[in-house]
Chain A
């Protein structure tokens, strides 16, 4: 499925999957921490989607928690790092894709 055909929840799940399947052991510690924080932000948003009182299901999928919407800057910084790392031939494509997917939601 194309990204623009996905619901916000599906995009978050996809981004989560990409980040979860990245081998973090050989990337800088600072980036490891950023990926962990990204996983936490995505988790919080998914939970908010699943737990938020739902009177109108259609609007639920555009729900952004305060925490998640405030994390845009952080995802952009992580994207900058992943772009640079990619240019130098580092295999961080999954991180980059995951971050860009989240940014389409934000």
Chain B
């Protein structure tokens, strides 16, 4: 019943807001909302590919060890525990569905074109709320208080997407939602995280809540996430391949035709480990770029036009200009991540080149 109401409200909102807003929007703002929609969709696809890549790297790690055990005459039990649950993936798809829906709607309002809101119906029932937050693998040391604040952000974003607010003007809406948009970006940032730092400060994983607004540029690198698990997986693969060389009989080492291929595989996987991490860092920067772009849009929409008057959640590092070049970089990043994933898949199939 509630869901039906929400859906109904959502459809209602689509018709009301464009007519309720009598703004004349600047060309710069129109360009920005177009960029936002493109960027959200690209970051969504990249993030999905990065999760897939992490799972495949984990499979490769487990498989390399199992292969060596079998080759040494063992009969190990074959187990492939996944890194993330189906629910983890579903929640992230829902977050991106919300962001896409929100950006598409903003686009439709500002460009005053119903034709621009493609894909909305597809996403209508995927609103994300704070109830799902506890299931997030954020890899963070967030206190319950911070999690609860983030949760409020999701609730507000979800409620914007699902309840009619015909009397609300767009300016207030974009300003109010900016903080929530930044909270979502922060969680996506944490998903990628850093490679686990063994330094004492990070090793203890103290329960300190970050100061809000969060200075994201100085955020400690010890939060685990996609970077940590992917790096760990590929490290396990190369370690096992090296062990394979060590355990080979001397005769085997002299005569093995496969040895050059194995040595090359170790080298290539080490290179891949570095490039995959660089791309995860680039994805993290892309997420922050999304937040910066949304902040720019919200500040254009704000009546004062003063960016300082906006409600923000993050202290973002200095950004390069977010323009078409930002989109082109994300497109390249998407292709690069897909290529890395293809390499891992070919290694899984024993055809690494």
- Chain A residues packing against B (C-beta within 8 Å): 7, 9-10, 13, 20, 23-25, 29, 32-33, 36-37, 39-40, 43-44, 46-58, 61, 65-67
Contact = CB atoms under 8 A, between A and B. Distances in A.
Given A36-B74, A39-B65, A48 B81 contact: yes
A100 B134 CA distance: 34
B256 interface: no
B233 interface: yes
Contacts of A58: 207
A10 B222 CA distance: 14
- Interface residues on chain B, size class: 35 or more
A52 B83 CA distance: 7
Contacts of B76: 33, 37, 40
Contacts of B233: 47
A70 to B, nearest CB: 9
A9 B224 CA distance: 12
B65 A47 contact: no
A20 B239 contact: yes
Contacts of A52: 137
B136 interface: yes
Contacts of B204: 7
Nearest to A50: B224
Contact of A47 (B69, B73, B83): B83
Contacts of B196: 9, 50
A51 B223 CA distance: 11
26 contacts: A9-B196, A24-B243, A29-B73, A33-B74, A36-B69, A36-B72, A36-B243, A37-B74, A37-B76, A40-B65, A49-B224, A50-B229, A51-B83, A51-B84, A53-B137, A53-B138, A54-B136, A54-B139, A55-B135, A55-B147, A57-B141, A57-B142, A57-B205, A58-B207, A61-B205, A67-B79
A36 B65 contact: yes
A54 B69 contact: no
B277 interface: no
Interface of B: 58, 61-62, 65-66, 68-69, 72-74, 76, 79, 81, 83-85, 88, 133-142, 144, 147, 196, 198, 203-205, 207, 224-225, 228-229, 232-233, 236, 239-240, 243, 246-247
A35 to B, nearest CB: 9
A50 B62 contact: no
A23 B224 CA distance: 31
Given A33-B69, A53-B136, A54-B139, A24 B74 contact: no
Contacts of A67: 79, 81
B74 A54 contact: no
Contacts of A39: 65, 236, 239-240
A32 B72 contact: yes
B62 A40 contact: yes
A50 B239 contact: no
B246 to A, nearest CB: 6
B135 to A, nearest CB: 5
A81 to B, nearest CB: 15
